[in-house]
Structure 1
Amino acid sequence: MQSGEQRRARAVIAIANQKGGVGKTTTAINLAAALARRGFRTLLFDMDPQANSSLSFLDPRELGPSAYELLMDGQADYSPYIYRTPVDGLEMVPARINLAKLEAKLVGDFDAPFRLKDRLEGVRASYDFILIDTPPTLGLITVNALVAATHVLIPIQSSYFALEGTDDLLETIEKVKARPNPNLRLLGVLVTLHDRRTTLARDVYEQIKRVFGDKVFETVITKSVRLEESPAYKESIFTFAPQSSGASEYAKLCDEVIERV
C-alpha cells in the first residue's frame, strides 16, 4: 500500500444483484469480517434501506447519523457516520429506512449518480477494502454503488430462476463502464445457497459456469442454518460458528477475493 495522499483503498467492491434473497447481505457482512480478520482495515457501507447489514452488527437504537445523512449532507467530518463493529478492524456506515428517500431527493441533481463516489473520496485513504451492500433493485442507489466501485461481486442463488434478471444487471454494469466508471471490473460471480444434495442445484451450478466461465468463484456458499442465525446475535460466522461450513467457505472466498484484486 502507498502512504500519505497517494494511499487509497485496494478495492471498493459493490455486492450487487437486483434479485432479493440471493445472499448479498450474508456475503457483505462475512466477507467484510473475513478481510478484517486478515488484518485489512475494512469499511462496510450499507446502501440498502432494509439495513440488514447494519442490523447484523449494530443496535439500531444507538444509531445517529447514517448513510442517508452522509450522502445528503456531505460534511467534511466523516466520524459521525462511521461506527465500530464487534469485529476488530471492521467499521461501517449503517443504513436506516430513511435511505429509501434518497432516490426521490436526488432526482434531477446533476451529480446524482456520483454522490457516493464523491463522499467516499474523503475516506478511501483510511481503508484497505470498502464493501458496499446494495438493495435488490437497479435504481439510483445501486447505480451510485457501481459508479463508486472498482469491482462488482454478483451473488447468484443456486436455484431454478438463478439467471433470471442477470442480463439486466450486466447491461447496467456495461452502461456504467461506458461512461461514469470505465474502470469498473467484474470481480466474480459467487454461487450461494447451494444444496449439493439436489440434482437441480448441481445443474444450475453448471449452467452458471457455462454463462460466466472463469468469473465464477471456485468457492461455493452452501445452505447453512448457522449463516442465517449469526446476524441475530450481532456476530459474523467466524465467531458465531467458527467450525461451520459457512466459516470455512467465506474464509476461502476471502482468499480468492484478495488474489483477484
Structure 2
Amino acid sequence: MIIAIANQKGGVGKTTTAINLAAACAGRKKRTLLIDLDPQSNTTLSFLQPEEINAGAYELFTEPDRDAREIIYQTDVPGLSIIPARINLAKLEAKLIGDFDSAYKLRDRLQRIVSEFDLVIIDTPPTLGLITVNSLVAAHYVIVPIQSSYFALEGTDDLLETIEKVRSRPNPELELLGVLVTLFDRRTALSRDVDAHIRQVFGNKAFNTVITRSVRLEEAPAHKKSIFEFAPKSSGSAEYEQLAKEVLKRVQKRASNGRANAA
C-alpha cells in the first residue's frame, strides 16, 4: 500500500507527518518504507547523516537498471526503512521534462520492491511539479495536511484538481484517504473556526485526529528522532499514534470494500 503525503504549500506539517506517521506504523509492526522526494531532505536528515548516503531518490528515478534495494537504508526505528533525498534531487524536474513516461517512473521503479513492505509513505515536495505527479501516479492513497490558519484552504483546489487529473487517466485507483488538520492551537478561536470549516468542506474525509502545535514536534528532527523516541509521552506522540491507527483502519476498510465489490 502506497500513501503520498502532499500539499503544494510549505510549512503545513507535511514532513513532520511523513516522519511520524511512518514511525508510528513501523511501531505497529508494519514493514514501512519512507521515501523522501523533497530536495530539502528534511525527512532524510531526521534519520541519516549526509555522509552515510551514497545514493537516493534521484538515482531511483534516473538509473532504471539499478536495484532499488541498494538505495534503501535502515533507520534506527525497528521496521522502518528509507529511500533518502540528496541535493541532486533538485535537478530531477528538469531531467524528467520531455521523457514520454515522465509521470510513470516512480510507479515503475516501486513495482519491483513494493511487495516487500506493508506500507510505503512518500514525502512530496511543496510543489505540483513532476515529482509530486509521479508520487500521485504511484500511490494508492493521498493524505493532505492542512494548517489551521487563515489561509488554510488557499491552493487546495489546485491540489484536488491535480488529484482528479491523475485519477482520470494515469491512476484511476488513487483515493483521497483523508485531510489532516495540523498546527492546531486549541487556545485560539481562529484555529477552532478553521478546523470547523475544513470539516464542513471535506466531511468524513477529514481525519478525526488533529495535530496540535508542539515545540516537541519541532525539536525532534534536530535530534534525528521521531516524536516517539524524542518525547514519547508528549501530545504529539499520542496524536501521531492515533493518526496511524486511523490511517490503517481506513486503508483496511477500503481494502475490505474493494474485495467485497470484486466478489
Classify the TM-score, shorter chain.
Answer: over 0.9
Partner of 2:256: none
Counting matched residue pairs gives 251
Indicate if the aligned counterparts of 1:113 and 1:140 stay in contact, CA closer than 8 A. Answer: yes
**Structure 1 Cα separation of the partners of residues 96 and 160 of structure 2:** 24
1:228 maps to a residue whose letter is E
- Structure 1 unaligned regions, length at least 5: 1-10
Partner of 1:12: 2
1:70 pairs, out of 53, 60, 74, with 60
Partner of 1:259: 249
Indicate if the aligned counterparts of 1:64 and 1:80 stay in contact, CA closer than 8 A. Answer: no
1:204 is aligned to 2:179: no
1:152 is aligned to 2:142: yes
1:197 maps to a residue whose letter is R
Partner of 1:5: none
Partner of 1:8: none
Partner of 1:95: 85
2:146 maps to a residue whose letter is I
SS of the equivalent of 1:112 reads coil
- Structure 2 unaligned regions, length at least 5: 252-263
Structure 1 segment 47-86 matched on structure 2, within 5 A: 47-86=37-76
Indicate if the aligned counterparts of 1:158 and 1:205 stay in contact, CA closer than 8 A. Answer: yes
Partner of 1:43: 33
Give CA deviations for 1:143-168 in whole Å, capped at 9, x if unaligned: 00000000000000000000000000
SS of the equivalent of 1:189 reads strand
Deviation at 1:75, TM superposition (A): 2.8
1:228 is aligned to 2:218: yes
Partner of 2:124: 134
1:201 maps to a residue whose letter is S
Partner of 1:109: 99
2:97 maps to a residue whose letter is V
**Structure 2 Cα separation of the partners of residues 194 and 56 of structure 1:** 23
Indicate if the aligned counterparts of 2:68 and 2:109 stay in contact, CA closer than 8 A. Answer: no
SS of the equivalent of 2:60 reads helix
RMSD (Å), alpha carbons: 0.6
SS of the equivalent of 1:246 reads helix
1:32 is aligned to 2:17: no
Give CA deviations for 1:90-125 in whole Å, capped at 9, x if unaligned: 000000111111111111101100010001001111
2:121 maps to a residue whose letter is L
Percent sequence identity is 67
Give CA deviations for 1:194-219 in whole Å, capped at 9, x if unaligned: 00000000000011011101000000
Partner of 1:180: 170
**Structure 2 Cα separation of the partners of residues 215 and 79 of structure 1:** 34
**Structure 1 Cα separation of the partners of residues 197 and 83 of structure 2:** 36
1:168 pairs, out of 152, 158, 164, with 158
**Structure 1 Cα separation of the partners of residues 33 and 3 of structure 2:** 10
Indicate if the aligned counterparts of 2:69 and 2:113 stay in contact, CA closer than 8 A. Answer: no
Deviation at 1:77, TM superposition (A): 1.9
**Structure 1 Cα separation of the partners of residues 151 and 69 of structure 2:** 42
SS of the equivalent of 2:15 reads helix
SS of the equivalent of 2:145 reads strand
Give the TM-score, by structure 1 length. 0.95
Indicate if the aligned counterparts of 1:49 and 1:95 stay in contact, CA closer than 8 A. Answer: yes
**Structure 1 Cα separation of the partners of residues 196 and 60 of structure 2:** 42
Give CA deviations for 1:35-86 in whole Å, capped at 9, x if unaligned: 0000000000001111110011110121101100111002342222100111
SS of the equivalent of 1:14 reads strand
